[in-house]
Amino acid sequence: MGAVATPVSVPNPCSSMVATPINPPRPSSPATPPLAPIIPTSVQQQHAHQQTVQENEQFALAWVRANYELSAGGKVEQVELYRKYVESCAKLDRKGVITSMHFPRIVRYVKFELIRRVTGFMSFSIIFTTVYC
């Protein structure tokens, strides 16, 4: 018979040391990662700008309709009309104000609308000349 190997207990010199990982443990991540801030794209920014411009135009149109009416022989200076519009916007603490260059177009639109309502659809050239007279 041959020799039988019996396990021998050899003391391990490193057994008293505590192993630490090279990379410290990371806290467990939540089930859903936090949402990154949404950065508007240029298309979204353009859409938001167009919407703001439309809202400002609609307010200016409503303001002119509510505060002035078309009358034969009546006259309001463009500068005076714009000044009153800006004053009203300031009283309402409104940030979106139509520029003085754009405001006459709003007034012409309202005048055209009123003349068309009063005279009906006669002829575009007649209405057009009436608007600028």
pLDDT at 130: 33
pLDDT at 128: 33
Select from 47, 60, 64, 131 the least CA-distant residue to 102: 60
pLDDT at 8: 54
pLDDT at 33: 62
pLDDT tens for the chain, 133 residues: list them: 555 555 555 555 555 555 555 555 566 655 666 666 777 788 888 888 899 999 999 999 999 988 887 777 778 888 899 999 999 999 999 999 999 999 999 988 888 887 777 666 544 433 333 333 3
